[in-house]
C-alpha cells in the first residue's frame, strides 16, 4: 500500500494506549530490515531519516557538511526505496524526517516523498519556534503530511543537535504550542537524552508527560507526545563491541521499564537510533572476525580498516562510505557486500524486534487507518489547520 501519513499511526497509539517505536535509518538495507521485522510482528512502522542522514544517503560521505542539494537527493533515494517496499507490504508504513533543521530541509523531505517531518526549533526562543513550526505546518498539512515539533531542550548529541544541558518542557507552554502551531506531535524534554552516554540510572520525569497530556485533554487538543533520546543502550551489545576490539565507554541508556511505563502515560512515539547503531557496529566487527578473508576484500576491506581506525565510533555512517551505492540504492553486487548487508539487517532486526514487543505495537497494524495523503490534506483543510 502507499505510505501513510505518520498521524494515522500516532492516532492509533493515542486511541488504544500503546507506543510506537520510531527507528532511524541511514541506508536502504536498514529501511528494508525495519520494514520486514515490523511485518513479522504485524505492527505498523515508522522509519525516520535524520536531516544529515538524508545528506549521507544522498551520497555525502562527510555528512556533517551536507548541503540542501545532498539532502534532496538522499530524501528521494530513501523515499523511493521505502515506497517500493511498502507497495507489497501488508502493514501501514510512514517515513518521517527526524530533527529537520529548517523549512528548506522539511520541504526537501516532503517533496522527496516523506509522509511526515519534524521541525526542531527547540533551540529558538519560544515565539520564533512557534513561527517556524507554523510555517512548516502550513506547507506540510496542505499536502497531508504530518508535523512534529519540539519544545524544551534535550541534553546530548545527535548529528547537528547538541546541548550540554537539558531544559524540561513546561506543560502549559506545550498546550500553547499545539494551539498556535497546529502540530500533530510534540517532542518533549523530560529527562531523556540523545546518544549513548545518558548516565547511569537516568530517571524520566514522567510527571511532565502526564501533566502535558492532562492539560491537552482539558483544552480538547488532539496530539501525540514524543520521547526522543530513548535508546536503552543494551549492555550486552556494548560488552560485545568492546570484546571485538571496540572502545565504547560510559554507555548507559534509559531503562526499558521506564519506557514501558511512559508508553501508558501519554507518550505515543518513542525514538530510537543509538541502539540500532550499536547493534550494527557489533555485527560488522563480528563479521570481520568470523570471516577474516573479508578484511582484505577489494570491495569491503576498507570497511574493516575504518572499524580498526575508529574504535570508539558506533555510527555506521563512519564505516559504510566504501559501499555508497549499496547505502543509497540497496544494490548488492557481490557476496562480500551481501555479507555486510546481511549483518546490517540482522543488527537492525535484533533491536527493533525487541522494542516492537516491549512497546506493545505488535499485532496492532490493523488498528491504523490506511488513509492517503490527499484524504488527510482534505481533513486538515476542513478543520482549518
User: Which residues make up the interface to ligand G3H (CB under 6 A)?
Assistant: 24, 98-99, 158, 194-195, 228-231, 271-274
Nearest residue (CB) to Zn ion, 143 versus 160: 160
Distance of closest approach, residue 198 Cβ to ligand G3H, in angstroms = 7
Instruction: Verify whether residue 102 is a known catalytic residue.
Output: no
Q: Which of residues 250-289 bind Zn ion (CB under 5 A)?
A: none
Tell the smallest beta-carbon distance from residue 228 to ligand G3H (Å).
Answer: 3
Q: Which residue, 63 or 288, has its beta carbon nearer to ligand G3H?
A: 63
User: Which of 40-48, 163-171, 226-234, 357-365 is the region at the interface with Zn ion (rule: CB under 5 A)?
Assistant: 226-234
Quote the least distance from Cβ 277 to Zn ion, whole Å: 13
- Select the span of 28-36, 78-86, 220-228, 276-284 touching Zn ion (CB under 5 A): 220-228
**Binding partner of residue 54 among ligand G3H, Zn ion, none, CB under 5 to 8 Å per kind?**
none
Q: Where are the beta strands (DSSP E) in the chain?
A: 20-24, 45-50, 93-100, 116-119, 146-151, 155-158, 161-163, 185-188, 193-194, 224-227, 267-272
Q: What are the CA-CA distances from residue 239 to residues 35, 248, 253 (Å)?
A: 28, 8, 14
Looking at the Cβ atoms of 134 and 228, the one nearer to Zn ion is: 228
- On whether the CB atoms of residues 261 and 360 are closer than 8 A, the answer is no
51 binds, among Zn ion, ligand G3H, none (CB under 5 to 8 A by kind): none
Kindly state the DSSP code that residue 98 receives in the 8-state scheme: E
Closest C-alpha to 322, from 356, 295, 298: 298
Laid out side by side, the sheet with 161-163 consists of 161-163, 155-158, 193-194
Q: Pick between residue 32 and residue 99 the one whose CB is nearest to ligand G3H.
A: 99
Q: How many CB atoms lie within 10 A of CB 94?
A: 27
**Closest to 145 measured CA to CA, from 184, 190, 194:** 184
| Contact of residue 231 among Zn ion, ligand G3H, none (CB under 5-8 Å per partner type) | ligand G3H
Kindly name the residue from 98, 120, 159, 184 that is annotated as catalytic. 98
The residue nearest Zn ion at its CB is 228
| Gyration radius from the chain CA atoms | 20
Shortest reach from residue 370's CB to ligand G3H, in Å: 26
Using an 8 Å Cβ cutoff, are 146 and 132 in contact?
no
272 binds, among Zn ion, ligand G3H, none (CB under 5 to 8 A by kind): ligand G3H
Instruction: Output the smallest distance, CB 98 to ligand G3H, in A.
Output: 5
Dist CA 237 CA 240 (whole Å): 5
Q: How far apart are CA 110 and CA 91, in angstroms?
A: 21
* Coil/strand/helix, residue 384: coil
Which of ligand G3H, Zn ion, none sits in contact with 212, Cβ below 5 to 8 A by type? none
Q: How far apart are alpha carbons 381 and 176 in whole angstroms?
A: 21
- The single residue among 101, 228, 285, 317 that binds Zn ion, judged by CB under 5 A, is 228
Compare residues 252 and 285 and give the one whose CB is closer to ligand G3H: 252
Nearer to ligand G3H, 60 or 99 (CB): 99
Q: Considering the complex, what minimum distance in angstroms separates the CB of residue 187 from ligand G3H?
A: 8
Beta-strand pair 116-119/161-163: unpaired
Residues lying near Zn ion in the complex (CB under 5 A) are found at 228
Give me the active site residues, please: 98
Amino acid at each position: 500500500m502507499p505510505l501513510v501519513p505518520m498521524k494515522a499511526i500516532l492516532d492509533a497509539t493515542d486511541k488504544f494506549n500503546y507506543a510506537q517505536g520510531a527507528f532511524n535509518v541511514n541506508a536502504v538495507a536498514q529501511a528494508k530490515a525495519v520494514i520486514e521485522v515490523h511485518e513479522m510482528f504485524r505492527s505498523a512502522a515508522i522509519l525516520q531519516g535524520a536531516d544529515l542522514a538524508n545528506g549521507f544517503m544522498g551520497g555525502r560521505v562527510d555528512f556533517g557538511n551536507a548541503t540542501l542539494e545532498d539532502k534532496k537527493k538522499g530524501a528521494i533515494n530513501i523515499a523511493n526505496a521505502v515506497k517500493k517496499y511498502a507497495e507489497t507490504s501488508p502493514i501501514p508504513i510512514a517515513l518521517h524526517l527526524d530533527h529537520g533543521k529548517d523549512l528548506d530541509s522539511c520541504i526537501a523531505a516532503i517533496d522527496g516523498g516523506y509522509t511526515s517531518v519534524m521541525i526542531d526549533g527547540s533551540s529558538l526562543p519560544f515565539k520564533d519556534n512557534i513561527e517556524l513550526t507554523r510555517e512548516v505546518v502550513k506547507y506540510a498539512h496542505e499536502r497531508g503530511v504530518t508535523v512534529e515539533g519540539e519544545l524544551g531542550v534535550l541534553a546530548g548529541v545527535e548529528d547537528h543537535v547538541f546541548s550540554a544541558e537539558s531544559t524540561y518542557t513546561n506543560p502549559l507552554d506545550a498546550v500553547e504550542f499545539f494551539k498556535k502551531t497546529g502540530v500533530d506531535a510534540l517532542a518533549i524534554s523530560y529527562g531523556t537524552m540523545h546518544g549513548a552516554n545518558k548516565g547511569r540510572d537516568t530517571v524520566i520525569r514522567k510527571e511532565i508527560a502526564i501533566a502535558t497530556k492532562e492539560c491537552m485533554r482539558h483544552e480538547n487538543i488532539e496530539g501525540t507526545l514524543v520521547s526522543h533520546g530513548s535508546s536503552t543502550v543494551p549492555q550486552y551489545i556494548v560488552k560485545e563491541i568492546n570484546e571485538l576490539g571496540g572502545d565504547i565507554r560510559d554507555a548507559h541508556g534509559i531503562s526499558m521499564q521506564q519506557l514501558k511505563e511512559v508508553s501508558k502515560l501519554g507518550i505515543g512515539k518513542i525514538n530510537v537510533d543509538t541502539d540500532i547503531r550499536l547493534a550494527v557496529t557489533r555485527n560488522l566487527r563480528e563479521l570481520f572476525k568470523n570471516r577474516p578473508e573479508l578484511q582484505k576484500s577489494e570491495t569491503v576491506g576498507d570497511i574493516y580498516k575504518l572499524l580498526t581506525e575508529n574504535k570508539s565510533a558506533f555510527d555506521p555512517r563512519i564505516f559504510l562510505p566504501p559501499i555508497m551505492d549499496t547505502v543509497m540504492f540497496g544494490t548488492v553486487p557481490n557476496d562480500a557486500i551481501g555479507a555486510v548487508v546481511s549483518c546490517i539487517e540482522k543488527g537492525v532486526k535484533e533491536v527493533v524486534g525487541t522494542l516492537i514487543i516491549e512497546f506493545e505495537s505488535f499485532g496492532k497494524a490493523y488498528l491504523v487507518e490506511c488513509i492517503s495523503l490527499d484524504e488527510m490534506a482534505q481533513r486538515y483543510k476542513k478543520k482549518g489547520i
